[in-house]
């Protein structure tokens, strides 16, 4: 079989909101390839229910949105990054509106309907009923599919980045990626003058997750192996309310239900959030998730309940049709009964270290969206800031690429992927067993509540597991499951190492051994042994979080 090579100006690895926004922003003047791990609609954006936080109401302000984000981030947000994002929120929403995204309006149609979610002091969440991600993603896809300079490649999973020394800067330059074609079972070579990692987060490292199966930390793992720093990987957001049902998979119950008055209840119908935070159900996600986890363990209960049945049925039908329809599939009528819920891994707040242009430590390599660490989220992402970050940083990266790419030469041809010394595996059970073991011990030892002893156990297990995976990777032909397992194990190690370094409890990192927050606020920055070069930029320490 002939081995395929593809050459483009720009290679975008990932087809969510961040990747498609960047691709559309560049396609008028450059040839762009977009890789999707599965079908083009398989990523996290398509499944996002809530909305996008933006300053759109006259009663709201940039200062209030910035302040709310800093409070939620528990002292680790980079205030300059927060302000950079929030100041561009209105422009980002207008860009989506101009593309044709159909956001929900008030009854008379005069303005957009804005809702309120945990951590926000104003109604500032613009949404499309309870399927905002689908509305945004489908609009972006329509524009991408119709563009003559944009090519999409589905069922492709990147294996590793192509790099070479850059004689002009003395650093390492990214020139493309080896990509596994899931349909043809072959590895293809994609080369480009700029490469963008927009592969999403790593929540599938945990046993229970609200994310689709594609969230296996591919971009973070590839960037680390290529020599990029990562930061704050210990901060994994657990969404408080994932539907608890044996056949429900990873269906998320949107935060907007609590924003519109839904109550969290114990199995006996008693509300409990007032015992944990004066904001009750509207407390930030880390507080709500820990409260649910505590009550479940205290009671020995498999789940708790989220109840919006006290609201009018017409209101529920208008605002939450997706949640209602999905719950009805399992015999749960949310207009009449509470929804069984459990916390689930939801969002990776850390990632590949970047600046405001999305640049990583490698020349011509960018990271945007959940793959990146911008400093926006701090120790806890505030609801609905993530889709905003995708749009803002994708546009910023696109501006930088367009302004500088003319001076970047076409990469020299890279060698084909060499699989001549590997064989077909007859032991795929090893992959499935290691996959299950990894996700289970990460849930048990590195979950919502942590201890040093649990982290030490996780450290021991990940070392043994990585040794087995690496031996398997060297000897057998790769496939989708092995690629994902290799990446998940790498990301798991980064999460464990980061958690071991943080001797305090802050935001999403809660340790029984160190229950208090330290006076000094600092990011956890891990540096790989093959650190690509001197950093292009230096992030300053985050500003202290303003007191509530």
Within 262-408, where are the H helices? 285-299, 313-319, 321-328, 385-404
- Distance in angstroms (rounded) separating the CA atoms of residues 281 and 259: 8
- 282 touches 90 (CB < 8 A): no
Name, in order, each residue with C-beta under 8 angstroms of 235's C-beta and a sequence gap of 6 or more.
Answer: 76, 348, 349, 350, 377, 378, 379, 380, 507, 508, 509
Token pair for 486: 């290799």
Name, in order, each residue with C-beta under 8 angstroms of 478's C-beta and a sequence gap of 6 or more.
Answer: 159, 180, 187, 419, 422
The pLDDT value recorded for residue 321 is 92
The pLDDT value recorded for residue 2 is 52
H/E stretch holding 85:
helix 79-87
CA dihedral 166, 169, 171, 175 (to 10 degrees): -40
The pLDDT value recorded for residue 131 is 83
What are the 10-residue block averages of pLDDT along the chain, 548 residues in total?
83 96 96 93 73 94 97 96 98 97 89 89 91 91 93 96 87 96 95 97 90 90 97 94 85 88 97 96 86 89 95 95 95 97 93 98 97 97 93 98 94 90 79 91 91 96 95 91 96 98 95 96 95 47 35
Whose CA is closest to 505, among 448, 457, 458, 546?
448
* Residue 455 dihedral angles phi and psi, to the nearest 5°: -65, -35
The pLDDT value recorded for residue 403 is 97
Within 260-375, where are the H helices? 285-299, 313-319, 321-328
- Distance in angstroms (rounded) separating the CA atoms of residues 397 and 445: 37
Token pair for 260: 């519109």
Whose CA is closest to 309, among 282, 276, 332, 326?
332
The pLDDT value recorded for residue 302 is 87
The pLDDT value recorded for residue 284 is 79
- Distance in angstroms (rounded) separating the CA atoms of residues 93 and 98: 9
Token pair for 434: 């290691």
Token pair for 533: 């070069």
Token pair for 3: 């081995």
Query: How big, in percent rounded to 5, are the helix, strand and coil portions of the chain?
Result: 35, 20, 45
- Is residue 527 exposed (0-12), middle (13-18) or buried (19+ Cβ within 10 Å)? middle
- Distance in angstroms (rounded) separating the CA atoms of residues 384 and 254: 11
E runs forming strands in 60-203: 114-115, 125-126, 150-153, 156-166, 171-181, 186-197
88, 285, 461, 502: which is the annotated catalytic residue?
285
Instruction: Give catalytic status of residue 285 as yes or no.
Output: yes
What are the C-alpha distances in Å from 398 to residues 23, 201, 255, 289, 351? 8, 21, 31, 36, 20
Domains parsed from the chain with CATH numbers? 5-234+349-407 (3.50.50.60), 241-346 (3.90.700.10), 429-520 (1.20.58.100)
* Residue 10 dihedral angles phi and psi, to the nearest 5°: -135, 135
Instruction: Report CA Rg, the chain.
Output: 22
């Amino acid at each position: 079989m002939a081995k395929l090579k593809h050459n483009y100006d720009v290679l975008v690895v990932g087809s969510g909101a961040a990747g498609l926004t960047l691709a559309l922003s560049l396609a008028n003047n450059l040839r762009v390839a977009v890789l999707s791990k599965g079908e083009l609609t398989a990523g996290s954006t398509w499944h996002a229910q809530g909305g996008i936080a933006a300053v759109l109401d006259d009663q709201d302000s940039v200062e209030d949105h910035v302040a709310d984000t800093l409070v939620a981030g528990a002292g680790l947000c980079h205030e300059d990054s927060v302000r950079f994002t929030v100041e561009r929120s209105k422009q980002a929403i207008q860009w989506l509106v101009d593309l044709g995204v159909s956001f929900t309006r008030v009854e008379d149609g005069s303005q957009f309907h804005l809702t309120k979610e945990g951590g926000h002091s104003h109604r500032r969440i613009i949404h499309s009923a309870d399927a905002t991600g689908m509305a945004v993603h489908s609009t972006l896809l329509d524009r991408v599919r119709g563009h003559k300079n944009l090519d999409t490649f589905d069922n492709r999973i990147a294996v590793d980045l192509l790099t070479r020394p850059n004689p002009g800067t003395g650093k390492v330059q990214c020139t493309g990626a080896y990509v596994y074609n899931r349909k043809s079972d072959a590895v293809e070579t994609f080369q480009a003058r700029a490469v963008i990692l927009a592969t999403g987060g790593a929540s599938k490292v945990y046993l229970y997750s609200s994310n689709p199966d594609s969230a296996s930390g591919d971009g973070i793992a590839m960037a680390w192996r290529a020599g990029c720093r990562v930061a704050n990987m210990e901060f994994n957001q657990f969404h408080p309310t994932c539907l608890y049902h044996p056949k429900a998979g990873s269906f998320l119950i949107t935060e907007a239900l609590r924003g519109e008055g839904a109550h969290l209840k114990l199995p006996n119908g008693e509300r409990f959030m007032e015992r944990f935070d004066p904001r009750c159900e509207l407390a930030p996600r880390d507080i709500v998730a820990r409260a649910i986890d505590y009550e479940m363990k205290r009671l020995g209960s498999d789940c708790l309940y989220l109840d919006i049945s006290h609201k009018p049925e017409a209101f529920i039908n208008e605002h939450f049709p997706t949640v209602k329809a999905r719950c009805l599939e399992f015999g749960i009528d949310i207009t009449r009964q509470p929804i069984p819920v459990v916390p689930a891994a939801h969002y990776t707040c850390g990632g590949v270290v970047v600046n405001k242009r999305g640049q990583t430590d490698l020349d011509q390599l960018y990271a945007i969206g959940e793959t990146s660490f911008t400093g926006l989220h701090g120790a806890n992402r505030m609801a609905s800031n993530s889709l905003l970050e995708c749009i803002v940083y994708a546009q910023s990266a696109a501006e930088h690429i367009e302004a500088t790419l003319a001076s970047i030469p076409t990469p020299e041809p890279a060698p084909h992927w060499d699989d001549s010394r590997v064989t077909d595996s007859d032991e795929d059970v090893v992959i499935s067993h290691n996959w299950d073991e990894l996700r289970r011990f990460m849930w048990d030892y590195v979950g919502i509540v942590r201890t040093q002893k649990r982290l030490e156990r996780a450290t021991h297990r990940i070392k043994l597991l990585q040794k087995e995976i690496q031996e398997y990777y060297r000897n057998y032909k790769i496939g989708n499951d092995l690629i994902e397992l290799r990446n998940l194990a790498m990301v798991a190690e980064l999460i464990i190492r980061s958690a071991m370094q943080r001797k305090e409890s802050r935001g999403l990192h809660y340790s029984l051994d160190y229950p208090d927050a330290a006076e000094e606020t600092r990011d956890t920055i891990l540096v790989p042994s093959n650190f690509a070069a001197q950093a292009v930029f230096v992030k300053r320490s985050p500003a202290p979080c303003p007191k509530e």
